[in-house]
Structure 1
């Protein structure tokens, strides 16, 4: 990669290039559901170190499964103390020689989850003050995971902040499905799900933060009364390092049902609706717990606090005390940060994750939220958007077709060969395979649904010469036809950009060729490890570079992001997949969703 640093050109007439600060490193940290992961990149954006701690494995005393506790009636929470132990452990185990060179830091955090700060948080986050230093330094070291003496201050983040800094010991997270009552109340107050989607980027979802906040107020009024402010997970990490509660970025605010998609502020109508819900206490009580207004991508929210520098050995302590501590740039949710790590930055760019579930993410200059999918503000470029679709039937449906049509011992290579035997376009035959209930669109039933070129019901095996090849191609083409059509409804034209493909199915040359043909764009191999943490590191480096360079230009100038990936498929038969074919497939999905089938 080129060793370049982008700065604003004099008078704003373009970009100038210069050398990165000698030895500068940039740290990205991802606080996900199951782990805490750190990725360090250098001035060329090459990864120089990565380290991860799995919560279940490292901290069995918390009793989590996949990083959280599943409770009654759909609740899902994670211990905040466990997140602090994970962050403490990851930072403590990074080489001090690297930490001394870190110039800037940013975070990725699981979307929708939130931490509920108490009124004591402001004091405790500042670290030990005069008169309490000795007590804190000599406090008993209780963190069970630490097997060696610590550097800097004795005692970890948990010992400093738990329990006093938190109104809730267990944070509600994205897996929570217990707030449908609050979702219904929001949609009723605003005039329906379409109006909520138009304002916030998504219809009311049970896992979204504001619905969880209203549920906490109703179910646990003592905890609500103790809550001074609520931070999304992406702002929780920066708050701990900076020593004060930091604002959320605009992209993550649009995953709350109270952050506005277009003006990127906390919404007055939504705040009023939540304020009227039982236990909340009015709009003002709800609004003050949201904290500061969301900030733009690349905003510096502070520097690492002196006590944190001493604790971990960051610059600004010890022999580098004369140098300023690292800058901390605003965090982002894990989906937008993953997009940043993959280099998904230019409008029209699409990322596909083809695994157990199939996910479609795309950058757009336009936003047209619908009842299906989500539109978030971009975490890398003000004024742009990130559209997201998630399908429950990814790998399981392809697996079922492989097993039923090719045999229980058939390999994925055989699946690819069968797909290739059927001609592109599949002679007009379309198919939808549902091994599980679907979420895009919402379909509660399972089954196999195929139609011929005249949209008549087709039973596989009734006279077709090679039903297995027809079925393999139909389910693969169908997935990308759905993504193209439903993505277009959200404002995305994939043919304008690049398709970055990751996940198990993306290793199939036959499947990625279908993706290129249906979406009408070249497909790049993008199986990037720790993409969310890498995206945070890239955003930290971009923030430190200063104003003047778009995120996409910044990555390209360093040979990073999509520009560094290999093309694995180019469109060969895009002309076969016309808007009429896309419309036919969406009609098939919608007919099944409405129960019009069989």
Structure 2
């Protein structure tokens, strides 16, 4: 009987990773390679090159990714406990926002790859790009265009799901159109990094998927097509021909669950893939991780790291002032909300050190103060916060609502943890079924319990290693098998219950939340 395997790939900033699952979602193999370590000839540091004459310009040579894919597939082909011929479908993910600029020669070479299986991808696709480097998400050289989009389209987040950001693809396209016009004019197609990777496997330019396309400031969330207003502003022109030309370069976006057809015969000849192996649309890394966790409406993911991030789903679209909305990667009728808070673990660390506590003694200190901190509330921002828009500083109120300069150490450590949990809760939807906790702070039992009590829901954790690549493999399996049930019902995510809410604490925090919002509003009014 033919063994069915599914390959998920993740082209991140620093490495290319592969995960192979079987039809029961058993992990068969993982493989990864570090760009800078494996390919020093490209001169990258941590997978990128920073322009010494313009430090805000950050990019990666496209040839590095081509060489990396060749090497990774070569290594996979050498293993004896599985065969690439058993791969039934491939999907994957990539770092978001980066743009790849194909020229017409590249399109022709891509379609003729099957005749070049004796050559590496780097050799076969030589001179295929009008720009040999890809500006990536770390690039911040587009301030001129961010300011322009914010000024000219005040409701940009209501159209595209986000306000203008330096790293978003539309800003890069606008910059290239204005300052590298020869590059733009010689470009026949523009890919995101995710669709670029899919294009290699299909042997033709793969469409941009709707979910990753939301990270461009160009996609209309309602029409699920490119916004004429945003395209016009990127080109600084209302010329219909120019706008139509950019629309053609981008191609028509497709749902993330689209089956793009069978693999290019280049990979059949070179690496012994089955000619029936199917290629499923690739998407962005954060979105693919969501597919791995299989979250749906009612779930909230809290990632507690250097920055704290809240991710949740909804069946309705409502733009965020300082956050992002994406089309759900496994259900085009739902939306993914992502809110990033700049002040996370570093702020927790600062207050812990200020109180002369170790994380082992934090727990003891919390036991000396009551849940709710007797109504004392502190808000701590080492940096100007994104959401809400508050200036850096420590702000403290006693139980009477009076501003104070200091708390006791035991009051302070509880204050920073409770305020961050209340902060997360205040921007999440009312109706929540469960909380999924990830990130470094998710290992702290006190924070786990506090999250459960503030949100009033069970708290789970999930394995996050290789999550983006696994999400690709799981989506490949789902689209290949075409079951009669939605993706959300096709498999159960691997979650572990780590905290249950204590009802008495839930009631205390529910009352404290409204007070917290009032205190926060007073800071907004004084910004």
Q: TM-score, normalised by structure 2?
A: 0.93
Report the CA distance between 1:22 and its aligned residue. 4.8
Q: Distance in 2 between matches of 1:377 and 1:526?
A: 23
Partner of 1:312: 271
Assess if the C-alpha contact under 8 Å between 1:273 and 1:283 holds in 2: no
Partner of 1:47: 27
Deviations 1:523-556 (A, max 9, x none): 1111320111111111111111215321110113
Deviates further, 100-109 or 21-30:
21-30
Partner of 1:335: 286
Deviations 1:374-422 (A, max 9, x none): 1100001121011101122211111111111025xx2x22223323443
Q: Distance in 2 between matches of 1:252 and 1:60?
A: 30
Partner of 2:203: 243
SS at match of 1:386: strand
Q: Distance in 1 between matches of 2:444 and 2:170?
A: 40
Partner of 2:235: 275
Kindly tell me: are residues 42 and 55 of structure 1, through their superposed partners in 2, closer, same or farther at Cα, counting changes over 3 Å? same
Instruction: Answer yes or no: is 1:570 the counterpart of 2:500.
Output: yes
Partner of 1:452: 398
Q: Distance in 2 between matches of 1:79 and 1:415?
A: 47
Assess if the C-alpha contact under 8 Å between 1:214 and 1:280 holds in 2: no
Report the CA distance between 1:369 and its aligned residue. 1.1
Assess if the C-alpha contact under 8 Å between 1:357 and 1:395 holds in 2: yes
Q: Distance in 2 between matches of 1:420 and 1:237?
A: 52
Alignment partner of 1:509 out of 439, 445, 456: 445
Partner of 2:104: 119
Assess if the C-alpha contact under 8 Å between 1:274 and 1:283 holds in 2: no
Assess if the C-alpha contact under 8 Å between 1:116 and 1:229 holds in 2: yes
SS at match of 1:168: coil
Q: Distance in 1 between matches of 2:324 and 2:133?
A: 27
Assess if the C-alpha contact under 8 Å between 2:381 and 2:391 holds in 1: no
Alignment partner of 2:341 out of 387, 391, 397: 391
Q: Distance in 2 between matches of 1:360 and 1:340?
A: 16
Report the CA distance between 1:73 and its aligned residue. 5.7
Q: Distance in 2 between matches of 1:590 and 1:523?
A: 28
Query: How big is the alpha-carbon RMSD for the aligned residues of Structure 1 and Structure 2?
Result: 2.2
SS at match of 1:183: helix
Kindly report which structure 2 residues correspond to 1:327-406, keeping only aligned pairs within 5 A, or say none. Answer: 327-344=278-295, 346-406=296-356
Report the CA distance between 1:241 and its aligned residue. 0.7
Alignment partner of 2:484 out of 536, 545, 548: 548
Contiguous gaps of at least 5 residues in structure 1 = 1-20, 137-152, 317-323, 462-466
SS at match of 2:199: helix
Q: Distance in 2 between matches of 1:583 and 1:246?
A: 48
Assess if the C-alpha contact under 8 Å between 2:460 and 2:499 holds in 1: yes
Partner of 1:160: 124
Q: Distance in 2 between matches of 1:501 and 1:189?
A: 38
Partner of 2:386: 439
Assess if the C-alpha contact under 8 Å between 2:372 and 2:512 holds in 1: no
Kindly report which structure 2 residues correspond to 1:519-558, keeping only aligned pairs within 5 A, or say none. Answer: 519-546=455-482, 548-556=484-492
SS at match of 1:568: strand
Q: Distance in 2 between matches of 1:401 and 1:329?
A: 47
Partner of 1:56: 36
Q: Distance in 1 between matches of 2:240 and 2:141?
A: 17
Alignment partner of 1:473 out of 414, 424, 435: 414
SS at match of 1:106: strand
Q: Distance in 2 between matches of 1:439 and 1:58?
A: 37
Q: Distance in 2 between matches of 1:95 and 1:414?
A: 51
Assess if the C-alpha contact under 8 Å between 1:182 and 1:214 holds in 2: yes
Q: How many correspondences in the alignment? A: 520
Deviations 1:167-197 (A, max 9, x none): 111111111222122123223333x1xx111
Assess if the C-alpha contact under 8 Å between 1:420 and 1:473 holds in 2: no
Q: TM-score, normalised by structure 1?
A: 0.83
Partner of 1:28: 8
Contiguous gaps of at least 5 residues in structure 2 = none
Partner of 2:423: 482
Q: Distance in 2 between matches of 1:58 and 1:451?
A: 54
Deviations 1:206-244 (A, max 9, x none): 111111100111121111111111111111111001100
SS at match of 1:335: helix
Instruction: Answer yes or no: is 1:263 the counterpart of 2:223.
Output: yes
Report the CA distance between 1:46 and its aligned residue. 1.7
Q: Distance in 1 between matches of 2:437 and 2:486?
A: 23
SS at match of 1:122: helix
Deviations 1:342-392 (A, max 9, x none): 232x20111111122211111221221122111100001121011101122
Kindly tell me: are residues 273 and 102 of structure 1, through their superposed partners in 2, closer, same or farther at Cα, counting changes over 3 Å? same
Q: Distance in 2 between matches of 1:266 and 1:78?
A: 26
Report the CA distance between 1:60 and its aligned residue. 2.0
Kindly report which structure 2 residues correspond to 1:55-74, keeping only aligned pairs within 5 A, or say none. Answer: 55-71=35-51, 72=54, 74=56
